[in-house]
Structures are given as structure tokens and as C-alpha cells.
A and B are shown apart, each in its own frame.
Chain A
Amino acid sequence: EDKVVQSPLSLVVHEGDTVTLNCSYEVTNFRSLLWYKQEKKAPTFLFMLTSSGIEKKSGRLSSILDKKELFSILNITATQTGDSAVYLCAVEGSGGGADGLTFGKGTHLIIQP
């Protein structure tokens, strides 16, 4: 059974701090790992990672994948109150003859002014 574990489950930091969110996974026939930011209803897509060691960046956010150790991290530098959200990690694989996404429980990030 595919499995995604995110840590920490919740995190409170002050504006300007740097945070690192973790995502470890076990999946059959790995295809990709995705990061989302969820503030209201629909999660916002952040990154899709398929190759090890290649950092993806978007503004203050960056992410990297380690396919050998089966984990990914999401970094946010110079945090702002608008970064407060639940950050979801999902892994796409093909296990047991079926394709699918497995989501982690999310990291609830709170940025205090």
C-alpha cells in the first residue's frame, strides 16, 4: 500500500523565518511527487518533481526530491503571513495495476506577524 508521511503536522513560526517541510513516501512504481498549498477550498499546485536532486524554485519557495532516500522537502524563506496554509504532499504511482495519487495529511503552517 502506498504511503505518504508529512512532518511536522503543524508548525508556528514568526514572519521572516525560514521553514522546511518534509514529505517521505513509499510507493509502487513512482511517477511524480507533487506539492500543494491549501488555503480555502481547492489546493493550489506548487511543484511537480520527478527527478532526484533537481531543485525547483518559485519565488521564496523551493523543493527538491531524493528518490534514493524517498523523501522531498519544501522550503519557504522569508516567510510572510500570507504563507499560512496547509501544505499537502502527494505521490503518484502505479501500484497493483491501478494508477493513483496518495496524499499526506498535510503540514498546517501558521506564520505569526
Chain B
Amino acid sequence: EAGVAQSPRYKIIEKRQSVAFWCNPISGHATLYWYQQILGQGPKLLIQFQNNGVVDDSQLPKDRFSAERLKGVDSTLKIQPAKLEDSAVYLCASSLAQTASTDTQYFGPGTRLTVL
């Protein structure tokens, strides 16, 4: 079974630049999550999609972060403009859940972002 795919795996940018991450969930998974994980901390949920609708984006810094899942399959997360404190691993996860309930999440390998 193919897992959650993410790209790029590693990105270095300068502050004030823009960056975009891509995630392709496991086929058939209705729910998609984006997390931000700073070194030594647990992942922080940025946004949760149910198919192509947003279920929870309460912790997404909307002044600079945006995410979309237009066709209810793959998703992109964008940061514009980036700040030094955005340096982190960005994890994508998906779950089968057809409703916005807790379900087993499968994680991708993450994208390590370094902002200089």
C-alpha cells in the first residue's frame, strides 16, 4: 500500500520568500491534516480537511499561511512571506474517516523547512 507522499523533502529559503509544500494522501482517505513540528516539540495541527472542505484551521496563521485541497485529494500548503520562526518540519497525514471524528492517521515523511 502506497503511503502518504510529500514533496519536497527538504527546502532552504531566505526570510520573506515564499514556499509551497505538496501532499498526496493515501488513496481513498477523506481526511487530510497539515502539522508543523518544531524540533523537540510535538506536531501542531495547522489545518484539517474533510474531502475538499476545511474542518479546523484555528491554529493556522492566516496572515501568511494558506492551504487548499481543491479536488479533495492532494493538497498544498503555502507560506508567504516566510519568517525565521517558520523553520520546522511540516508533516502531512491522512485518515480514512468519512466524518470529522478521530481515526487512525498515517503520516508522510515530512518536509524540513529552514528559513535563513
Q: Contact residues of A with B, CB < 8 Å?
A: 36, 38-45, 48, 86, 88, 90, 98-103, 105-106, 108
Contact = CB atoms under 8 A, between A and B. Distances in A.
Contact of A101 (B45, B106, B107): B107
B109 interface: yes
B48 interface: yes
- Interface residue SS majority, chain B: strand
A103 B107 contact: yes
Nearest to B55: A41
Interface of A is mostly: strand
Contact of B9 (A38, A43, A98): A98
Interface stretch (B13-21, B35-43, B70-78): B35-43
Interface residues of B, number: 22
A97 B86 CA distance: 23
A41 to B, nearest CB: 5
A100 B109 contact: yes
Given A86-B104, A100-B9, A101-B89, 9 more contacts: A42-B35, A42-B43, A42-B44, A43-B42, A45-B41, A45-B43, A90-B107, A98-B9, A103-B106
Interface of B: 9-10, 33, 35, 40-45, 48, 56, 89, 91, 102, 104-107, 109-110, 112
B91 A101 contact: yes
B33 A41 contact: yes
A36 B42 contact: yes
Contact of A99 (B10, B35, B41, B102): B10
